[in-house]
Chains A and B, each alone.
Chain A
């Protein structure tokens, strides 16, 4: 009789341990299936549109008139692409303390992300002093089919955008604009980042640029 009770105690403990393991496994499956890990660490997207300031934790960011071409002049370099360069002028006003925004990317309708990084897709706005406008441009090299419906995403940290504000600006671009830029003979002149508003510079013909 006492042996039966002894065995049933072991069985009950084993059953409890099994149930705990099953609960842990079920939790892991649920978080994996619904991508809970990604949503927990995702940036906080702040939606906006061209010409309207997007209020972020660290700055107000406003995208200006979007331009594009198959060639751009950046500093002393002329860049050409078989796709298109999308050029977005930004006005950045930091909040509370200086901010140097280091993340910019174009996200297309298919969910593809094109980073503005390196020499072919530059984004280097420099440090913005709080309350004073900083003028900079995002240049992103993309295939023409990524232009229509693309959103511009801007964030503070170039390496880690988790759990922080990120501007998500609908650039209002169409397939017709993409086709026009891809066949354009006129390049876009990209001004350097500065504390002064940029002067309008007319782009030169792509073939003329060396």
Chain B
């Protein structure tokens, strides 16, 4: 492979006349790919759950990612434990029976979380997956449940600071406890067996918790 190239570079003729262009070609290709690589980041990497922090049920998992608000960039450090995944007949924090869509069932996901009470956490997403990788999200509209599946509805903690547009902490709000438990309910097709619970604040980072048994 190298010998014909070396020969072309050293013999008089087209290869020699264009040797610098030929040598620059791979660099130009790499530069062109690098110049458009932000699209991979914007349109692919950040649009899906790509980077898991994995754990199993009944064990604490340390999750760390980053977020930005009007005060700058910050670390988000949360400890999460999957306590149970059980069939449900009522929505989270309600005693009214669920109106299930045809061919569906409801599953309650009980999670315990630990985090600094000053950390904004309420804007999060929760989902369960089946063995085929299908993802079923927590939808607060189902059964009129609390908007956020990962904080106590009465002590949500602060929102991310948005400068003059709001956010931050309200001094009148009671602080979020250092540890709390949530049990949001997710609707899935009747034949689905949940195998994994996913929790995330901003893609692509997420907590992936395997459901044992």
Contacts and interface: CB of A to CB of B under 8 A. Distances in A.
A132 B135 contact: no
Contact of A98 (B102, B135, B189): B135
Nearest to B134: A130
B84 to A, nearest CB: 21
A129 B102 CA distance: 13
B187 A132 contact: yes
B135 A96 contact: yes
Main SS of chain B's interface residues? loop
Contacts of B101: 132-133, 195-196
A126 B142 CA distance: 11
Interface string A67-104: 00000000000000000000000000000111000000
A98 B136 contact: yes
Contact of A131 (B133, B134, B139, B141): B134
Size class of the A contact interface (CB-based, 8 Å)? 10 to 19
A197 interface: yes
B134 A132 contact: no
A197 B102 contact: yes
B162 to A, nearest CB: 23
Main SS of chain A's interface residues? loop
Contacts of A97: 134-135, 137
B99 interface: yes
A113 interface: no
A129 B136 contact: yes
Interface residues of B, number: 17
Interface in B126-159: 133-137, 139, 141-142
A132 B135 CA distance: 12
Contacts of A129: 104, 136-137, 139, 187-189
Given A132-B101, A132-B187, A133-B101, A126 B141 contact: yes
B187 A127 contact: no
Identify which of A98, A126, A197 gathers the most chain B CB atoms within 10 Å of its CB. Answer: A98
Contacts of A130: 134-136, 189
B203 to A, nearest CB: 12
B28 interface: no
Contacts of B136: 98, 129-130
Interface in A129-182: 129-133
A131 B102 contact: no
Contacts of A195: 101, 104, 142, 187
Contacts of B174: none
Given A98-B136, A98-B137, A126-B141, A131 B189 contact: yes
A130 B133 CA distance: 11
B22 interface: no
Interface of A: 96-98, 126-127, 129-133, 195-197
The 3 closest A-B pairs by CB, nearest first: A195-B101, A131-B189, A97-B135
